[in-house]
Amino acid sequence: MEKIILNISGDNLAYIPMPSDQILNMGLFFQDYIPNNHSYKMHLNLVFATGLPFEPPNIKSYDLRMPSYKRVDIGFSKILKSEIDIFSKKNPFRFIKSIWITAEVFNLLDIKNTVSYDWIKVVPSATNPNPNFPDQFAVPNYLTKRRINLKLRFDF
């Protein structure tokens, strides 16, 4: 895959990667019924993406990249009522075609994915005039950790 680069004439900068320059982004979703019991199903979602370029404040070059994004989600579903179930005409659930209950675990491996950075500026002092000491630090902001989701779905 060819790298996307940007050159703006008159900015006195060389070619730099665009803020949306992501080299690889792929996902895999797998879903299947459990053998010998079609009222249960399982789904697995895998996502991998390379990091996006970013820049410190007041510096106009995208030389830094965020870490790659990795995520695994898994879910299990059980059908409680299907279309083939026969209910009497007086049953309040007769208009419902199917009812599913699902338990999902998002970010199963509890991976810390970086979404952005907060930049902390260091104020120089007379007691520490070290010129090799950086004047700002990047503190990462992470996406949510592992989450458990319970879902009840009605199809009419």
pLDDT in tens, 73-90: 999 999 987 766 555 566
Q: Using 50, 70 and 90 to split pLDDT, how confident is the model at 127?
A: low
Distances in Å between the Cα of 79 and the Cα atoms of 22, 37, 41, 106, 116 are 39, 11, 9, 21, 40
The pLDDT, as a whole number, for residue 80 is 87
The pLDDT, as a whole number, for residue 96 is 80
The pLDDT, as a whole number, for residue 40 is 94
Q: Using 50, 70 and 90 to split pLDDT, how confident is the model at 2?
A: low
Distances in Å between the Cα of 37 and the Cα atoms of 9, 69, 78 are 64, 35, 10
The pTM is what? 0.72
93 occurs within a structural domain: yes
What percentage of the chain has pLDDT greater than the value 70?
Answer: 73
129 occurs within a structural domain: no
45 occurs within a structural domain: yes
CB-based contacts of 139: which residues, under 8 Å, 6+ apart? Answer: 117, 118, 119, 120
35 occurs within a structural domain: yes
**Average pLDDT in the chain:** 82
pLDDT digits (tens, 9 = 90+) for 45-64: 999 999 988 888 877 665 78
Structural domain total, the chain: 1
Pick 15 or 53 by higher pLDDT.
53
CA atoms of 145 and 73, how far apart (whole Å): 12
Decide: 44 and 29 in contact? Cβ < 8 Å: yes
Q: Could you list the residue range(s) of the whole structural domain that residue 67 is in?
A: 12-112+144-155
3-state helix, strand, coil in the chain (%, to 5): 0, 50, 50
Q: Please state the rounded mean pLDDT for residues 102-126.
A: 88
120 occurs within a structural domain: no
- Neighbouring-strand partners of residue 126: none
The pLDDT, as a whole number, for residue 120 is 86
What percentage of the chain has pLDDT greater than the value 90?
Answer: 42
99 occurs within a structural domain: yes
